[in-house]
Structure 1
Amino acid sequence: MHDTIFDQLERDGFAVVEEFLRDAECEELVAAGLELTRHLPDAPPTVFSTTEPEQQQLKDKYFMESNDKISYFYEKDALDADGKLQLDPSISLNKVGHALHLLHPIFRCYTYSERVKALCRELRLLEPAVVQSMYIYKNPGIGGEVVPHQDISYLYTEPIPPIGFWIALQDATIQNGCLWIARGSHKSAVHRRMLRSPEDRNKCIYDRPAPVYPESSFTPVPVSKGTCILIHGNVVHRSAPNRSAASRPAYTFHVVERKGNNYSEDNWLQEGENAPFLNIYTTSQMQ
């Protein structure tokens, strides 16, 4: 008897759902991601990095106000010393987020699809809601490293942790920066939290230094195009930089249980008038 998706997530901290999207559907999302690079904002570029000691996004108003917008975050290697774009816009972005699921018709269509609703039912969620979404580019040769972390550090809920839906839009390999996951690490505590600062609610701080995880605890999870990896909010995961010639785009969003569950007021991302946490089961794919 095969384990259910719920059983896999509980046991390992992640579950791999193959053929979640068809090739043509992946290609539609990749085309939508590329189209976003053709309409970059005039505002000064904002870098997204998980490797800098003082992450710019922790202090950046642009980041803090991205809950109800389609906001653009660049790779640090895409900018010169003066902060000017030095690469073609089509390969300069790290990610676009955090309200694609609400504001972009194509991403909204896939986020609130019947397949997502069916997965939420398999995960025994009663009132699941999407709180953020991101298109991650992981461009060839420039796609940045994502350091080991738990999603619950940024989207703290209790007692039921958030769940990440991470969908590979092209093959994700060890060479181009697939996910590496510390199997079973979700059974430990919350290791670190990013909180809104008590002194300035428009800034965030970490409550403790970054933990150090042994390399041996991580297992690579290469997957084929169209695969969805479900990620338990407490499981530790990372991805290496993409130094290959192949891109590794992904669409990812985070789901929280609203029934009998507390979403922390100290999380950087908060529900707003223009960014409601909509119940997946009752939300239309169309705006």
Structure 2
Amino acid sequence: MGFEYLTQDQLDQLYLDGYLRIPGFLSPDETDVLLKRAHQLLGDFKVEDHPLTKFTTSDENHVGDDYFLTSGDKIRYFLEEDAVGADGKLNREKDKAVNKIGHALHELDPAFRAVTLENDNIRSIVRDVKFHHDPVVPPHNDSTFLYTNPPSALGFWFALEKCTAENGALSFLPGSHYLAPITKRFVRLPQGGTGFEDLIPPEKVPPAPEGEYVLVTCEPGDLVIIHGSVLHKSERNTSSKTRFAYTFHMIESPPYAEYDQKNWLQPTPEMPFSKILDTPNPVVEMDI
């Protein structure tokens, strides 16, 4: 079988471990364009007009204000949980106070659109992996937060700066995508805001897989492909250096998977989820 971009060894590693680092996927020039654009966006970000919305994935204090819930077709800024002091002002510089810029960066900003939706190498990887028939790009993260039935999230994580153990490189539990079911999903609550809905009763949730997490350090331009069910984490940045990264995720589109109205993020008539391929993959040969 011929592949367009990946090798058989790379595919085997992705299927086995649930993640794959591709060194130097973006050229130095491409990486520099994205990093400079991110700094420009932060420079244009006006704190005085911001509702101080923070980003968190924890079970408590999760995000649910209008600024967050209506961000699917806009470029907006979400702060670190502890970035605002008791006086209601940022307690650090903007480039270290902002956790994420989202959620329509891939659609509305030409630099990020070029890497995401106009990138032939990304399309080649999609055809090589054969994880989706007709992948679309909603603007958020993995299976708990982009729940489809069946689960289908696949992440593309680009290092824009050097990522080390000191400034928050990713760590993965290899093979955990086979052992860790999706136990909850992030939803819009009927009474407003957001929260988590159990997919498996808490008393029936199996023990978390055990094992040693593998640290994946990256150079600028490296790409890490991440299965939506693989367990991964990023430790707090304890250094004086920033760790800029760009992430987007693909999910399967109907009729191959269901994306329902409970999901916090909903497409709009003006901005439906972005398609990656011009025509669907004819065959999905294997599941990750």
Which TM class, normalised by the smaller chain length?
A: 0.7 to 0.9
1:54 paired with 2:60, answer yes
The whole-number CA distance in structure 2 between the counterparts of 1:170 and 1:158 is: 35
Counterparts of 1:102-141 in structure 2 under 5 Å? 102-112=107-117, 113-124=119-130, 125-132=132-139
Q: What percentage of residue pairs aligned between the two structures are identical?
A: 37
Once residues 278 and 47 of structure 1 are traced to their aligned partners in structure 2, the CA distance between those partners, rounded to angstroms, is 26
- Change in CA separation of 1:214 and 1:158 when aligned onto 2, cut-off 3 Å: closer
Partner of 1:274: 270
Compute the displacement of 1:133 (Å): 5.4
Match of 1:140 in 2: none
Do the aligned partners of 1:164 and 1:231 also contact (CA within 8 Å) in 2? yes
Contact kept? 1:100, 1:133, Cα under 8 Å:
no
**Alignment match, 1:163:** 154
Secondary structure in structure 2 of the residue aligned to 1:263: coil
**Cα distance in structure 2, aligned partners of 1:81 and 1:50:** 22
In structure 2, relative to structure 1, the CA distance for the partners of 1:32 and 1:10 (3 Å cut) is same
CA distance in 2, matches of 1:108, 1:130: 11
Q: How far did residue 159 of structure 1 move?
A: 2.5
Whole-angstrom CA distance in 2 between matches of 1:163 and 1:212: 24
1:10-58, Cα deviation, whole Å (9 max, x unpaired): 211111111110112111111111011111141222122335x52241x
CA deviation after TM superposition for structure 1 residue 269, in Å? 1.0
RMSD: 2.5
> Does residue 97 in structure 1 map to residue 102 in structure 2?
yes
8 Å contact 1:5–1:123 — kept in the other structure? no
Over residues 72-92 of structure 1, what are the superposed CA-to-partner deviations in whole Å (9 max), with x where a residue is unaligned? 011233321132123232332
Determine the structure 2 residue equivalent to 1:143. none
Kindly provide the CA deviation profile for residues 168-209 of structure 1, in whole angstroms up to 9, marking residues without a partner as x: 111211111111111111113112222222x33x42221247
- Is the 1:133–1:253 Cα contact (8 Å) retained in structure 2? yes
Partner Cα distance (1:163, 1:224) in 2? 21
Q: CA deviation at 1:66?
A: 1.0
1:185 maps to: 176
Deviation at 1:212, TM superposition (A): 8.0
Length, aligned pairs only:
263
Q: Larger C-alpha radius of gyration, 1 or 2? A: 2
Give the secondary structure class of the aligned counterpart of 2:106: helix
- 1:172 has 2:169 as partner: no
Q: Which residue of 2 aligns with 1:207?
A: 197
Letter of the 2:56 partner, please give it. S
Q: Which runs of 5 or more residues in structure 2 are unaligned?
A: 1-6, 280-288
- Inter-partner Cα distance in structure 1 for 2:211 and 2:96: 32
Matches within 5 A, 1:19-34: 19-34=24-39
Q: Secondary structure at the match of 2:146?
A: coil
For 2:186 and 2:79, locate their aligned partners in 1 and report how far apart those are by CA, in whole Å.
Answer: 21
Matched position secondary structure for 1:26: helix
Task: Decide whether aligned partners of structure 1 residues 25 and 89 sit closer, same or farther in structure 2, where only a CA change above 3 A counts.
Answer: same
Does the 8 Å CA contact 1:154/1:193 hold for their aligned counterparts? yes
Partner of 2:29: helix, strand, or coil?
Answer: helix
Deviation at 1:226, TM superposition (A): 0.9
Matched, 1:45 2:52: yes
